[in-house]
């Protein structure tokens, strides 16, 4: 069943590995002993109105962002007034406060945050850039997800999820695709996440061994893909563009002779194009999968060009 991850903590914000362009660049200024606080909502709050004493519809369960405006407002308040406002502010169940632009909290703010066991974090990023990255991080962490048995590979840029009964040859096909220069995301188990407003399914590596990529081949055992094919043969995640179902060729079963366009497979409520491929001795499955990826990519490009032409004609 699809699920979401309810266990995001403030420590996760500080320590989660992210690509360089998505890093939050956070450090903890105070409250290091309370980083286990849970972030309960995948949203942020700019508490400008709350600092003025207006708490109607206050997003108390959200990460609180203090930019230049909020910080400047606190700094110009008399200490007694600031303390009064912040006492009310920190009486709420706040997970953490984050200061952008490398800004520093005021002394009353730091004292009251410590008293309320609320961690204070800081980032050098601007408010807009930080919020963009944080919401992107939230969309991934809180995304509905499920784990499925299969193999996810990237073939000619197409994310291909290979399904089929045990022993049908999913991992062997993936191994041959790796030898032909394509890339592996995950073998045996694939974690699927629903992002982009519920329109895109992304497959992630499922592996508890330091995020290394392994593939199991009957008769050989477990292979370390990075050692055998190099680090460039591996991906941590990939959009699922096409589902391939490998089936042992059954005598008398009729397979479609046209294309996948009328068949789909449901993943997390999203319909993904499906192609059923019969497996029997003498069939070169990896070559067929490469051809399927190229055919699918060609159709995508044609559809994109067609949509662009229609848009241009409607504008003209």
Catalytic residue among 27, 149, 180, 283: 149
How deeply is 178 buried, as exposed, middle or buried, from its count of CB atoms within 10 A (0-12, 13-18, 19+)? buried
Known catalytic residue at 182: no
Catalytic residue among 57, 80, 199, 257: 257
Neighbours of 224 (CB within 10 A): 12
Q: What is the CA radius of gyration of the chain?
A: 25
Contact 95, 61 (CB under 8 A): yes
Residues 6+ apart with CB under 8 A from 10: 34, 35, 36, 37, 39, 95, 96, 119, 121
Catalytic residue among 188, 237, 263, 297: 188
Known catalytic residue at 283: no
Known catalytic residue at 133: no
Contact 120, 29 (CB under 8 A): yes
Known catalytic residue at 149: yes
Alpha-carbon span 310 to 316, nearest angstrom: 10
Q: Which of 37, 40, 60 is nearest to 50 (CA)?
A: 60
Q: Which of 200, 202, 180 is nearest to 191 (CA)?
A: 202
Residue 234's SS3 state is strand
Active site residues: 149, 170, 188, 257
């Amino acid at each position: 069943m699809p699920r979401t991850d309810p266990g995001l903590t403030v420590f996760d914000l500080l320590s989660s590995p992210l690509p360089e362009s998505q890093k939050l660049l956070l450090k903890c200024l105070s409250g290091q002993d309370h980083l286990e606080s849970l972030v309960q909502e995948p949203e942020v709050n700019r508490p400008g109105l709350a600092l003025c004493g207006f708490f109607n519809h206050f997003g108390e369960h959200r990460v609180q962002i203090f930019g230049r405006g909020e910080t400047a407002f606190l700094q110009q308040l008399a200490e007694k007034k600031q303390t009064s406002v912040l006492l009310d502010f920190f009486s709420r169940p706040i997970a953490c406060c984050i200061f952008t632009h490398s800004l520093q909290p005021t002394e009353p703010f730091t004292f009251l945050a410590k008293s309320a066991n609320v961690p204070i974090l800081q980032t050098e990023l601007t408010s807009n850039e930080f919020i963009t990255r944080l919401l992107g991080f939230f969309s991934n962490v809180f995304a509905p997800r499920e784990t499925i048995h299969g193999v996810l590979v990237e073939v000619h840029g197409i994310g291909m999820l290979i399904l089929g009964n045990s022993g049908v040859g999913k991992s062997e096909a993936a191994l041959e695709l790796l030898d032909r220069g394509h890339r592996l995301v995950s073998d045996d188990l694939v974690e699927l996440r629903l992002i982009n407003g519920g329109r895109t399914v992304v497959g992630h590596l499922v592996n508890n061994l330091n995020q290394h990529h392994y593939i199991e081949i009957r008769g050989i055992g477990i292979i370390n893909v990075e050692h055998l094919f190099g680090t460039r043969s591996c991906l941590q995640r990939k959009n699922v563009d096409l589902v391939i179902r490998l089936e042992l060729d059954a005598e008398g079963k009729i397979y479609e002779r046209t294309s996948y366009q009328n068949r789909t497979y449901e993943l997390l409520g999203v319909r993904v194009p499906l192609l059923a491929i019969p497996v029997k001795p003498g069939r070169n499955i990896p070559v067929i999968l490469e051809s399927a990826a190229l055919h699918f990519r060609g159709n995508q490009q044609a559809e994109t060009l067609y949509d662009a032409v229609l848009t241009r004609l409607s504008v003209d």
